[in-house]
A and B are shown apart, each in its own frame.
Chain A
Amino acid sequence: MDELSDLYNDLIMEHSMNSCNKKELKCYDCCKMGHNPNCGDEIKLELKMDGDVIEDLAFVGHGCAISQASTSIMIDTLRGKAIYEAKKIIETFIGMIKREITDEAELEKLEDAIAFRNISHMPARVKCALLAWHTIEDMLDERERKVDGE
């Protein structure tokens, strides 16, 4: 129960219920759907780039508190970051959830997203926490391939 209140804490609840990142951007460079058939979580992520910097991100969607909060917190964390920084953070987040990265200094870089570190105690919810992160990972990869191809 303690771990649970740890997880459903103020930060996560606020982000899941009243996120200011939950909106459509006026203009964006690419968007992608992510979904998790397990609990029906669905998000649409919109990404606006400024050169190699993530200028803005937003999402719409529905699903469990974990998936929605994780998306919103990810947006706060990645906004304004250069692609190479963002990729490092995404890698660290996924590593943290899989318990492969435990180094505190490294985890600090996740900012608020560190709130999900205990999700690995709830295997049924890992996919919920990772949904947005896998989606943005795919978006950045696709974008890279497109830029390389040009």
Chain B
Amino acid sequence: MNSSDIKKDFPILQNRKESYLDSAATTQKPKQVIDAIDEYYKNFNANPHRGAYSLSIEATQKYEETREKIAKFINAKHTEEIIFSKNATESLNLIAYSYGMENLKVDDEVVLSIMEHHSNLVPWQKVSKVTGCKLNYMYLNDNFEISDEEIEAKITDRTKIVGITHISNVLGTINDVKKIIKYAHKKGAIVVIDATQSIQHMKIDVQDLDADFIVFSGHKILAALGIGVLYGKKEILNKMTPFLMGGDMIEYVYEQNTTYAPLPNKFEAGTQNVEGVISLGAAIDYIETIGYDNIQRIEKEIVDYAMQELSKLDYLTLYVTPNRAHHSSVISFNIKGVHPHDVASILDANGVCVRSGNHCAQPLMRYLGIDSTCRASFYIYNTKEDVDNLVNALNKAYEMFKKYM
């Protein structure tokens, strides 16, 4: 099995001729996922949890079966530890509000890495402003990695929460989250893992990691837009108060008071995105059919090739760790002296989709002393031809600017 075989499963990659190198922003969807959504609306749609008739019960079943599937997929101990949200951002806000706001005090510390996405940073700033807790950052070494010394210097006895991305959406650095979790637990802190850029690439086992919270977005792992997941340890989730209030998250409602439903419904207010959940179930089936072994093999081949070819272009600056084992499938780069937005426009005109900008990581950009980068990100359907197109388009961009430098 190789990326050309996999590519055939993705209608958009047949219908469009661009080289799509922006999977870190959102992945394309295989027909198995698109079909599952289609089938849901043709045969099962009803408001889950709300009808006594069989159609609604079937919709509820599909929804709850997917929860079980996800629990198995990430090896959660209990199915009710899986909470559905809108996306990773909402999951992180839920943690910040329902756990952070309620538990943090002045003198407590929240430790984040400087490579966090705004979604795992801005909510903690808000918590810090409201509770008075401190916000500290773990910075990077010259390889764009967080050293052990940095971990041990920043996570202290006062640290109550550590927020860390498993894989950086800008640098592609794979953080050793297991080690960070172990150290944080020793110091009495709980750890929030942002798996938004990792779960599509590597096996996540929440019990092996001993993670307290893990979040991700469905749309970056082949599923529909608008569905996200929050995993939390049952004993922690049970103690937390609800984030959003309304229908479905309640037990009894009186004029002045309400008792809340048990997990997981406590955190799922309002009519849920069943379509999105179904699509996520189909995406997980797809991932499991291919297997993480194959995913890693295919990605390694394509990213190795991309690194080899891009390293030959001496007009490029690459923001990548030299330690290949710690680098996933995102490559940030700049053409020296050319603004990334111009580069992205020229690549676009040559049929290559890359992202340019600060990638929702302004503190990281400032730390690196740059405004923005171009970012090519790869997934299992990308081929060597995509890399060749990228390199050719980069050469054209460089030629266009070179004569004026």
B345 within 8 A of A: yes
Q: Judge whether A65 and B349 touch: CB under 8 Å.
A: no
B157 within 8 A of A: no
The docked-state distance in angstroms from the alpha carbon of A131 to that of B378 is 33
Q: Judge whether B349 and A1 touch: CB under 8 Å.
A: yes
Q: Judge whether B357 and A65 touch: CB under 8 Å.
A: no
A111 within 8 A of B: no
A124 with B357, Cβ < 8 A, contacts A17-B405, A40-B371 known: no
Q: Judge whether B404 and A38 touch: CB under 8 Å.
A: no
A106 within 8 A of B: no
Closest to A7 in B: B345
**B interface, size bucket:** 20 to 34
B346 within 8 A of A: yes
Q: Say how far B135's CB is from chain A's closest CB, in angstroms.
A: 22
Q: Which of B269-283 contact A (CB under 8 A)?
A: none
Partner of A4, one of B340, B346, B403: B346
Q: Which of B324-356 contact A (CB under 8 A)?
A: 338-342, 344-346, 348-350, 356
A39 with B339, Cβ < 8 A, contacts A17-B405, A122-B345, A125-B345 known: yes
State the 7 A-B residue pairs at the shortest beta-carbon distance, nearest first: A39-B341, A64-B339, A64-B341, A40-B371, A4-B349, A17-B404, A13-B404
- Apart from A16-B404, A17-B404, list 13 A-B contacts with CB within 8 A: A4-B349, A8-B342, A8-B401, A17-B405, A39-B339, A40-B357, A40-B358, A64-B339, A65-B338, A122-B345, A124-B345, A125-B341, A128-B341
Can you show 29 pairs from A to B with CB atoms below 8 A apart?
A1-B349, A1-B350, A4-B349, A5-B400, A8-B342, A8-B400, A13-B401, A13-B404, A16-B404, A17-B404, A17-B405, A38-B341, A38-B357, A39-B339, A39-B340, A39-B372, A40-B358, A62-B371, A64-B339, A64-B340, A64-B341, A65-B338, A65-B339, A65-B401, A66-B341, A124-B341, A124-B344, A124-B345, A125-B345
